[in-house]
Amino acid sequence: MNVAALVAYDGTAFAGFQRQSPDKGPTVQGAIEQAIQRIAGVATTIEGAGRTDSGVHASGQVISFQTSARLTPPDWQRALNALLPREIAVRAARAVDDGFRARHSALARGYRYRVLCDATRDPLRERYAWRVSHWLDVPVMREAARSLLGEHDFAAFGSSPHDRRDDGFRGPTVRTLLIAECDQRITCASPPAAEPAVDPVGEAVEVEFRFTANAFLSGMVRRLVGTLALVGAGKLTVAHFQAILAARDKAHPGAAAPACGLCLTHVAYPPGSITW
């Protein structure tokens, strides 16, 4: 049977999704494969839709694996959740066609990134958001983000799997961005009716970026957010941001935003291939 599962995890303590050498720390893939081996009695390799980096979270990761164990998908869900660490949960499991593969069958992936604008530390919320001590201009960041929609060469914001090949070949860095949104989430007790035109005093403001693409480069979302945050802080103009995209050069002021604010939220597949 070919099994697909919807997985959520808090990535704080993990060295990313993809299995690595033990000296680099625990991974989500490693934890799931260990649990499957305990259940089925044989080593099993899983495929994940997104290879999230160290410290990145997921609410909509999808995995798939082949098994000859005589368990139904609900049995797999219960058994895995009984063995997995509390930071990982299988939210659903389904039997899928033999040709389904979590990564290679995917049409698009969606990520969310949250920034907390607060001058005072907030230890609980900072686990899942990047705190900056200054206000960010949401409308101007939204305008800059619209420049990303469609097909572009995103070499300025990420690396392809082949970037480090010894023969000098640079892998394709062209991707199609389907959604690039930026919105404000006021977290005070009585939020204003509209986005503030000036830095709000005494209010913690949460900014949420949402990106969906046919595929992402390594580090792409975090570098995009780090650069857009410079636009929101008034350190780059929208025109400067657009010039960075067009230049396709990583040598620009936008550093990668911290991993804690990033979450893989959903993966899209061809109609009829899988439903949760």
What's the whole-number mean pLDDT along residues 133-139?
A: 96
Q: Which SS3 state, helix, strand or coil, does residue 186 take?
A: strand
**Angle of the 238-247 helix axis to the 138-146 helix axis, nearest 10:** 30
Cα separation of 45 and 18, whole Å?
11
For 29-66, how does the pLDDT look when each residue is reduced to its tens digit (9 = 90+)? 999 999 999 999 999 999 999 999 999 999 999 999 99
Instruction: Read off the DSSP letter of residue 117.
Output: E
Taken in order of first residue, the domains within the chain and their CATH numbers are: 2-96 (3.30.70.580), 108-268 (3.30.70.660)
Q: Which of 10, 53, 118, 137 is catalytic?
A: 53
Residue 137 to residues 84, 146, 176, 185, 242: CA-CA distances in angstroms?
41, 15, 26, 13, 17
DSSP designation for 143: H
Are 177 and 213 in contact by the 8 Å Cβ rule? The answer is yes
pLDDT computed for residue 22 by the predictor: 84
Please confirm, yes or no, whether 53 is among the known catalytic residues. yes
Q: Where does the pLDDT of residue 186 fall: very low under 50, low under 70, confident under 90, or very high at 90 and above?
A: low
Tell me: the pLDDT tens digits for 112-132? Answer: 999 999 999 999 999 999 999
Of 22, 81, 16, the closest CA to residue 48 belongs to 16
Cα–Cα distance measured from residue 211 to residue 148, given in angstroms and rounded to the nearest whole number: 10
